[in-house]
Amino acid sequence: MTEAVRLDAVAKDYGPVRAVDGIDLSIPRGQTVALLGPNGAGKSTTINMLLGLLEPSAGTVRVFGDSPTGAVRAGRVGAMLQESGFAANATVRELVELSRALYRDPLPTSEILATADLTGLAGRRLDKLSGGQSQRVRFAFALAGNPELLVLDEPTAALDVESRQAFWAAMRRYAATGRTVLFATHYLEEADDFADRVIVIARGRVVADGSGTEIKKLAGGRTVSFDHDGADPARLRGLPGVLDVRLRGERAMLSCDDSDATVRALLADGRGWRNLEIVGAGLEEAFLTLTATPGKE
């Protein structure tokens, strides 16, 4: 069994809303994978199904060949959820000790505290922690059992830059031990810096899957737009450097991975395109390009 996670045609509906729309996914053991997507893309829903907190409306989820709940009960999964609270009036150490006691083969307490950078806070009560500290405690709770698969849902949301760096340093130490790590984020930088593989999710579907560099190339493109004057979209798509063409009213919008070549070709074309604009496509833009449904603009 070399596969840690497998999703086959997984979908989830909330009433009439389809949050996850047919995701197929296979994550081999030992990989650090980022689930990248804008808010509302279906990342958290996917993660909750992966952990057995939600039942998929369709499709199957397997974790180490077992059902999600089975894998969780067997102590093979540790997870850090968004904004999950703690029992009040317990201390950091007590919480870590509780987590250790629930798993068969936990990490030593001192190692957990050191990894999550909590050594100085062990005696602190959980309701007396800052946001960043709480987040590190969630991380400590998730990794205490030394799980084979660690799942983190937007672990650095609400952290300042310094805490964020400290957190990723801790995460890197853990991933270096050969464990499988899956984390959700909406920062491309994080995904690129810390994951071996980036899976982009938008509108409940996988829209891209590759190394950080590959995804960055997709997301780092530019949009060239101009008054199209009734030009044929198919011809525009044939220009060098163009990935996709959309017509919006008077404007033609070209998603480009090499806008320099596209612009050179446009100028050489001799048709005198008017109101030419070149803008860098942000991640959001890239997601939209990747998920644009033809004919439904």
Partner 1 sequence: MRAYLVFELRRLVREPRMAIFTIVLPVLIYSISSGSGGTVGDVTVAKYLMVSMAAYGALVGALSVGIAVSHERANGWLRQLRITPLSPTQVVTVKALLASLLAIPPVLAVGITATISQGVEFSAGQWVALAGLMWLGSLPFAALGLALGFALPPQLTQPVSMLGVFGLAFLGGLFVPVEVMPKALAAIAVWLPSNRFAELGWSVAGEHAPPAAGIAVLAAWTLLFGGLAALSYRRAAAQR
Show the tokens assigned to 195: 């994951």
Cα angle for residues 120, 161, 165 (degrees, 5° grid): 60
Q: Which long-range contacts (CB under 8 A, 24 or more apart) does 188-194 make?
A: 188/36, 188/215, 188/216, 188/219, 188/283, 190/34, 190/156, 191/34, 191/36, 191/215, 192/216, 193/168, 194/32, 194/34, 194/168
Answer yes or no whether residue 129 interacts with partner 1 by CB under 8 A: no
| Nearer residue to partner 1 within complex by CB, 179 or 216 | 179
Q: Does 77 bind partner 1 (CB under 8 A)?
A: yes
Instruction: Give the interface segment with partner 1, choosing from 22-30, 138-146, 159-167, 267-275 (CB under 8 A).
Output: 138-146
Closer CB to partner 1, 58 or 98, in the complex: 98
| Structural contact between residues 202 and 291, judged by C-beta atoms closer than 8 angstroms | yes
For residues 275-291, one letter each, b for 16 or more C-beta atoms within 10 angstroms of the residue's C-beta and e for the rest, the string is eeeeeebebebbbbbbb
Cα 73 to chain centroid distance, Å, stands at: 25
145 binds partner 1 (CB under 8 A): yes
Q: Does 79 bind partner 1 (CB under 8 A)?
A: yes
The pair of structure tokens assigned to 290 is: 């990747």
- Residue 59: count of CB within 10 angstroms of its CB: 16
Binding residues with partner 1: total (CB under 8 A): 29
Beta carbon of residue 244, minimum distance to partner 1 (angstroms, whole number): 38
What does the alpha-carbon distance between residue 223 and residue 208 come to, in Å, rounded to a whole number? 19
Should residue 158 be labelled a site residue for partner 1 when binding is judged by CB under 8 A?
no
Judged by CB under 8 A, the residue of 84, 119, 177, 213 near partner 1 is 84
The binder of partner 1 chosen from 32, 44, 45, 99 (CB under 8 A)? 99
96/219 with CB nearer partner 1: 96
Pick from 11, 81, 224, 254: which binds partner 1 (CB under 8 A)? 81
Residue 94 lies near partner 1 (rule: CB under 8 A): yes
Contact criterion met (CB below 8 Å) for 194 and 172: yes
Task: Establish if 282 lies at the interface with partner 1 (CB under 8 A).
Answer: no
Q: Does 58 bind partner 1 (CB under 8 A)?
A: no
Spatial separation of the C-alpha atoms in residues 213 and 191, rounded to whole Å: 10
Q: What is the residue whose two structure tokens read 């390009």?
A: 289
By CB under 8 A, which span of 31-39, 99-107, 264-272, 280-288 interacts with partner 1? 99-107
The least distance separating partner 1 from the CB of residue 13, rounded to whole angstroms, comes to 14
Distances (CA, A) of 251 to 64, 264, 273: 50, 19, 11
Selected binder of partner 1 within 9, 26, 40, 102 (CB under 8 A) = 102
Rounded distance, CA 253 to CA 227, Å? 9
Segment lying near partner 1 (by CB under 8 A), choices 90-98, 175-183, 195-203, 258-266: 90-98
Stretch that binds partner 1, among 28-36, 69-77, 192-200, 222-230 (CB under 8 A): 69-77
Does residue 70 belong to the site contacting partner 1 (CB under 8 A)? no
Q: Which residue is associated with the tokens 């030992």?
A: 30
Residue closer to partner 1, measured from CB, 83 or 297: 83
- Name the site residues for partner 1 (rule: CB under 8 A): 51-53, 72-75, 77-79, 81, 83-90, 94, 97-99, 101-103, 138, 141, 145
